[in-house]
Amino acid sequence: MNLKHAFAAAALATTLAAPAAAQPTEIQFWMGLTGVNGELLTKFGDEFNKSQNEYKVVVSFKGQYPEQRAAAVAAYRAGNPPHVMQMFDAGSGDMMGAKGAIVPVSDVFRRAGMQFNPADFIAPARGYYGLPNGDLLSMPFNVSTTVLFYNKDAFRKAGLDPNKPPKTWPELIDAAKKIRSTNAAACGYTTTWLAWVQLEQFASRHNIAFGTRDNGRAGLDASLDVANNPLLVRQVQTLVDMQKDKSFDYGGRSNDAAAKFISGECAMLTQSSGGLGAIVQGAKFEFGTAQLPYWPDVKGAPYASTIGGASLWVFNAPNRSDKEFRGIAAFLNYMKSDKVMVEWAKTTGFLPATNSAFKAMQDEGFFAKNPGRDVPILSLIEGNKGANTNGYRFGRWTEIRDVYHEEVEKALQGRQSAAEAMRNFERRGNALLRAFERTAG
């Protein structure tokens, strides 16, 4: 053997004898967003991985929130759920009902031996995802609320003041009718997420309950209570009446109506503040942002709108190690950093979920330089607070939302009255709540 071959053989022997480098512990993170927002979440996962070598976050999209939740339930039953899952606000009741499957995020940090203070998060988020003892069930992340986007060009064309968006529902109705009568747009107003905007956020804006037991927050035996609420019936009837002349044009149950606004077809849109990014990218007109309208004859209105968006939940699993929980805590700690929260809020239109990120954006003058971007925050923190502005927590709510959609759609189609829609929604929704109570209780 010549000298060259001898050195090569020695090097190979040394390599074979050396222990393999420790592989990073994988943390599976399931997200519920696509497009720009999903790309940014993937980027955050990559940046966390580059910041250390002990853990590797794997970011995956498993479908929209309801589909993702179903996939997570199946994975949990198989003993291999994700470590962290992004779940929208409507799924909170179901996640709470999954006894043993979920580890409260405050407990995750305690188990990892890391500091975690729920008071770091903005008060509306703490209230929505919190427990009576002050702990957090899940970590607020893509926090949003409903806002009104309006087409300033269409307002000018209709002879409306582009700097004075409607504050009340009567003002919105008048503006929508003027937009139609002047043909400034093919439709005056549309809305995304019908149940979220016209029931959940609408109820908070007027401090009315739509369910018993603190809107489901106080126990599984809660029931819907909408049939005898004249304000909820009035709102459905308002949409029915406005649709007759396309002052209102129904755009579907989820986010599809946003396209009607972005294209210029409809001049006003109620939408999640997190929809801003798509509007900025797609709209070819000047637009403004305003708070969700309210009925001025309701005493105390406008009340604060409530939290929407999603939070990050932690799953338990057989044989899930302490190191995995430390990795989960480290990743969540990164996700609540000012760096992440500020970039997320600036890029997407979601709100900064922590007080320090909100202050950082204020200090740099972001809101002063970007008029309207503080509207959702102000809607949450400046509106009057009441017994019914802290959100809700019902099981099987995504199914119950669809019952609301079905019944209101029948009213919009002239197949039943607004009052009948609310009666049928209450009856069918309560049947689903009783089924959930039997399962979870």
What's residue 10's pLDDT? Answer: 47
* Predicted TM-score (pTM) of this structure: 0.87
What's residue 18's pLDDT? Answer: 46
The helix or strand, by DSSP H or E, that contains position 270, with its residue range, turns out to be: strand 266-272
- Taking 70 as the pLDDT cut, the residues of the chain under it are 1-21, 441
| Start and end residues for every CATH 3.40.190.10 domain found in the chain | 25-144+307-364, 146-305+393-440
What's residue 20's pLDDT? Answer: 55
Spatial contact of 273 and 376, defined as CB atoms under 8 Å apart = yes
Q: Which stretches within 18-57 are classed as H helix?
A: 35-51
What's residue 416's pLDDT? Answer: 98
What's residue 21's pLDDT? Answer: 61
Q: Give the phi and the psi of residue 339 in degrees, each rounded to 5.
A: -55, -50
| 25-144+307-364 placed in CATH 3.40.190.120 | no
What's residue 90's pLDDT? Answer: 87
CATH class of 146-305+393-440: alpha beta
284: its two tokens? 């070819």
Spatial contact of 376 and 145, defined as CB atoms under 8 Å apart = yes
pLDDT in tens, 246-257: 999 999 998 999
Tell me how long the chain is: 441
Spatial contact of 113 and 348, defined as CB atoms under 8 Å apart = no
Spatial contact of 149 and 168, defined as CB atoms under 8 Å apart = no
What's residue 12's pLDDT? Answer: 46
